[in-house]
A and B are shown apart, each in its own frame.
Chain A
Amino acid sequence: MNYIGKSNLRVDAYGKVTGKAKYTADLAPKDSLIAKVLHSTIANGEVISMDVSAAKKVPGVVGVFTCFDVPDVEFPTAGHPWSTDPKHQDIADKKLLNQRVRFYGDDIAAVVAENDVAASQALKLIKVEYKEYPVHTDARSMLNDKDAMALHPNWRKDNVIAHTSFKSSDDFDYDKAKLKAIEEYGEENLIEVVKNVKTPRISHCHIELPVSYAYVDSNGKVTVVASTQLPHICRRVVAQALNIPWGKVRVIKPYIGGGFGNKQDMLYEPLNAWLSVKCGGKPVILEIPREDTMIGTRTRHPMDGDVRGLATKDGKLLCRELKNYSTNGGYAAHGHSITAKCAGIFQNLYKNPLGVNSEAWTVWTNAPTSAAMRAYGVPQAVSFAETLTDDICFKGGFDPLKFRLDNLCDENLVAGGVKFYTYGLKKCLEIGAEKIDWYKKREAYKNQIGPIRKGVGICSFIYQTAVAPIALETASVRMILNQDGSMQLSLGATEIGQGADTVFTQIAAESTGISPDKVYVISTQDTDVTPFDTGAYGSRQTYVTGNAIKECGLLLKKKICEYALLMEDEDGIKGKKLEDLDVSDNYVIDKNTMEKLIPLDKLSTTAFYSFTHNQHITAEKTTDITTNTFASGCTFVDLEVDMPLGIINIKDIISVHDSGTIINPALATAQVHGGMSMSLGYGMSEELILDPVTGKAYNNNMLDYKIPTAMDSPDFKVEFVVMKDPTGGYGNKALGEPPTVAPAVAVRNAVLNATGIGFNEFPLTAERLVHEFKAKGLI
């Protein structure tokens, strides 16, 4: 391969480093009006009345709009492909502004003004009268209150968005399996661990805030320029919210400064569009401050799971169970899909010879809405599964590495239509163990005493590359050959900072034979121009869109070769057949002899301007990918715990990924670095904390919410187990989200190895460590 597997410089590197690259807020017209949103100061109840008279009098205020003014339309916000089957459509439970308040920070009014200060002053002058209802900020407390009021009575009376049970067989029951195990092995030969694990509410912390500007163009089209991961879905949702035809909406997506799944939901784009319409179509910009972003957009689901697992005393895992209560917050957003994905990974990560039950509830609560965040329920899944494994190993005296090699799922796993077309999980474990010097360190760290102790830990994972067959995996690509033999590459898949444009360029170059410097990827998506793609989510684009690019590229190449055959006057063309030709390094070549026949610039110029064979060579391809392959991997950590201060010092950390062919090693390594950092935040410091009584967040700002800084980050080491996957365009599998799955739990397991304490509440903050160490008399 010529261009795959090379560490090409990012195509947008210079623009982004020099600050020339334009983001949404850079592009807004200078005369844009400024919008700001008023948020509720109660977590459950109703807005009875609003007095906006003082707010309207502030000089510069153009309009004040309240929950009593918006269309009576509830719309879905999830960035899922639309389903034509009403039963599979996302729950539509949110209005542009909400009179029925479901969480502290709900959107209840908006101000549009000529400047920022006037808008802020007007917000403060709006007087709100509420009727308040009792507050339940987490799933269990909501379910435990039998009299709890339904937050969305039109959808569910009991606030349960969904309750599912994934079992190894319909009649599986953990207690019965345990009885069977006792009969077979004897109770004294079994190890059981029963516990509860809690995971935190996490904020995505993308650098660019949610921002959009909207206007109605001179032909009446409602236009939204937005920092979104999925412009085509955004168009559909804006139209649904405003109750206008989908084609009446145009969404444009410039460069965006990160999304991590938060911008996989439609956040404020529909409200922004409506405010512009209400202001006569004038451009209105709406940027959500960080404090409001952290509570008013989306978060990772806090999950609270009861876990059980049974193994024999010689280290054979028998059966497991998870009962997981997932806090979804005030609105459904992605519904049950994240908790369901968590349940599936818990179920399938290990072989369960006596069976498994993975049961889950997703519950509406009076809390910020939980939805997609990088790795979509899988960080929680391994928090349940991989802490259970290490607790079993600790209790049974098993080596956690050997236990995993013996009991992890193997290459035969088939789950919901997803399978390992290539399997590298155990190879990843072997490489990681060697790099961290696993067995030697396990031996060295035995029987430690004193206040500073060392430990090593592992966490492994599996990860579905795409969303098929549960959801549609469609992608469209268009290639247009220019007069000089270069090309435009236009796609609906989005660059969101992850490097997609660069990887797309390499795949286009590989499949067409046009070198990457002559592939001009159009980074901005415009739904009026750009072919359809559902956008950046899951870890799908390099796999799904990558396949579409490859097929489109092969089609373009075929058209180029066909045209070459028309250029009979060129040396070496006469007598050639289509199957003799190929394109390589910007030449049509004879693939048998590798002889260069026609340079592409000459061919293209001829095609454009020929009187006899005039052609504009383009290709367009839509693919619907129905295969889905598991990626996998693991993280190993070596660390030191300073017990009197509760400080974890990571000495060495390595992640090993089975992600198929690596299209661009430098970008892939950077992707893993970012994921590891994000996981360590989840594992050690990040949690958005709510007052359980009022539902108000304590720490919705970047000072009190402890995302790790560069100073907190150890040197991240990365290895890849490369196997060419037959289903990936060029052998590639998921790598977008997997890096953020394992490191946190590897740290937790290393702390167990170091101190003998297995922590079951993430993150492992110093305060939690000190509390446990004191309780156990260790400090």
Chain B
Amino acid sequence: MFDISFLYEAKDVKDAIKKLVENENSEIVSGGTDVLIRVREGKDAGMGLVSIHNISELKGVSIENDGTIVIGAGTSFHDITNDDIIKKYIPSLAEAVDTIGGPQIRETGTIGGNICNGATSADSASTMVALDACIVLEGPEGERIVDIKDFYTGPGKTVRDRCEVCKCFKIKKENYENYFGYYFKYGKRKSLEIATLGCSVLVKLNATKDAIDDVKIAYGVAAPTPSRAVSAEEYVRGKKLVDKNLLDTFADKALSDMKPRNSWRASKEFREQLIKEMAKRSLVNSIRRAGGKIEYYV
């Protein structure tokens, strides 16, 4: 039994917003894989839950005429991994959400919940940050679009108001076309795991595939929110793949952009080592996927 004051199945987004406005002590539940845990732990005990679980307009992936990919917030991880558009254009997102939890969690958990939960460890978050995704929110005042870089405000905190429903994510063509990506989840075990560190890299090579046109690298758990390593990205643009210092300098710059902390879960020393090594391996894997040749021991 869950200690909740009510569970309301919203008919559509507007209906959900209305219910949320009417009940101050209520929150949205979608897949329930975070909210119900908080209720069980007593943190959200006694709250009313407004379910957007059965709203079909929030589910599914589509592509607009200008090539913008639209991912419904209520799309489950399993459905993202198996979606043809995602597999074709942004396969590293398909891989990233396939590392979440176990099969049952991936069947019910949604990308909207994963992002709106605000956790730096969310496996979809670093890839969405690397993709410069936009987040479409609708609240009592109407719709607004927020860039993901402006979305997170702190650990577990976002700009989303309690009464705003996250409807979908939009990824512009320029942010995925000709990019090849890799998501590296480092956990203490291979499934049923929250990332100790997550690293998502997107690489665009030049036409001759011997130099880097652009790189985007984003981490989870390397800072309080999912974060881009901007100086690493700047350094690596235009560099030749044969450059001997490429990987080491890229990794050092990435580390300097992050703020890893010391905790019982992982020491700062360990996190720093992972930030550097994962930067290298993620970049190497992305370059190889892009058709480039680069030497590394794995």
Contacts and interface: CB of A to CB of B under 8 A. Distances in A.
Contacts of A771: 267, 269-270
Contact of A117 (B3, B191, B193, B270): B3
Interface in B229-275: 264-267, 269-270, 273-274
Contacts of A644: 273, 277
B277 to A, nearest CB: 5
B273 A706 contact: no
B207 interface: no
Contact of B265 (A116, A642, A645, A704): A704
B191 A709 contact: yes
Interface in B184-210: 186, 188-194
Given A120-B45, A699-B264, 20 more contacts: A117-B2, A450-B297, A452-B298, A645-B274, A703-B192, A703-B193, A703-B194, A704-B265, A706-B188, A709-B190, A709-B191, A709-B192, A710-B191, A711-B191, A712-B190, A766-B270, A767-B266, A767-B267, A770-B269, A771-B270
29 contacts: A115-B1, A117-B1, A120-B42, A121-B3, A121-B45, A124-B42, A452-B298, A644-B273, A644-B277, A645-B186, A645-B277, A703-B192, A703-B194, A704-B265, A706-B188, A708-B189, A709-B190, A709-B191, A709-B192, A710-B191, A711-B190, A711-B191, A765-B188, A767-B266, A767-B267, A770-B270, A771-B267, A771-B270, A779-B273
B36 to A, nearest CB: 14
**The 5 A-B residue pairs with the shortest CB-CB distance in the complex, in nearest-first order:** A711-B190, A116-B1, A711-B191, A767-B270, A644-B277
A722 interface: no
A698 interface: yes
Contacts of A703: 192-194
Contacts of B265: 704
Interface residues of A, number: 34
A711 to B, nearest CB: 4
Interface in A638-680: 642, 644-646
Contacts of B192: 702-703, 709
Nearest to A291: B41
B195 to A, nearest CB: 12
B264 A689 contact: yes
A407 interface: no
B31 to A, nearest CB: 16
Interface of B: 1-3, 42, 45, 102, 186, 188-194, 264-267, 269-270, 273-274, 277-278, 297-298
Contacts of B277: 644-645
B115 to A, nearest CB: 20
Contacts of B264: 689, 691, 698-699
Contacts of A711: 189-191
A451 interface: yes
A743 B274 CA distance: 27
Contacts of B298: 452, 642
Contacts of B269: 770-771, 774
A774 B189 contact: no
Contacts of A488: none
A685 interface: yes
A646 B270 CA distance: 9
Interface of A: 115-117, 120-121, 124, 450-452, 642, 644-646, 685, 689, 691, 698-699, 702-704, 706, 708-712, 765-767, 770-771, 774, 779
A27 B294 CA distance: 63
A272 to B, nearest CB: 20
A417 B266 CA distance: 47
A711 B99 CA distance: 12
A335 B277 CA distance: 47
A503 to B, nearest CB: 32
B47 to A, nearest CB: 13
A770 B186 CA distance: 14
Contacts of B102: 709
Contacts of B45: 120-121
B25 to A, nearest CB: 15
A768 to B, nearest CB: 9
Nearest to B194: A703
A192 B278 CA distance: 40
Contacts of A704: 265
A709 B191 CA distance: 7
B179 to A, nearest CB: 25
A615 to B, nearest CB: 55
Contacts of B42: 120, 124
Nearest to B4: A117
A452 B297 contact: yes
B184 to A, nearest CB: 10
A117 B191 CA distance: 32
Which of B186, B189, B264 has the most CB atoms of chain A within a 10 A radius of its CB? B189
A137 to B, nearest CB: 14
Nearest to A768: B270
A155 B266 CA distance: 40
A771 B267 CA distance: 9
A765 B265 CA distance: 11
A644 B279 CA distance: 12
B260 to A, nearest CB: 13
Nearest to A121: B3
A55 to B, nearest CB: 15
Contacts of A120: 3, 42, 45
Contacts of B3: 117, 120-121
Nearest to A645: B277
Contacts of A450: 297
Contacts of A766: 188, 270
Contacts of A708: 189
Nearest to B46: A121
A708 to B, nearest CB: 6
A550 B87 CA distance: 62
Nearest to B296: A451
Contacts of A117: 1-3
A647 B282 CA distance: 16
A33 B274 CA distance: 50
A59 B273 CA distance: 54
Nearest to A765: B188
Nearest to A767: B270
A469 B138 CA distance: 74
A451 B298 CA distance: 9
A766 B188 CA distance: 8
A13 B103 CA distance: 25
Contacts of B193: 703
Nearest to B189: A712
Nearest to A452: B297
A709 B101 CA distance: 11
A770 B269 CA distance: 9
A765 to B, nearest CB: 7
B270 A685 contact: no
Contacts of A124: 42
Contacts of A770: 269-270, 273
Contacts of A765: 188
A121 B2 CA distance: 11
Contacts of B274: 645
A369 B107 CA distance: 39
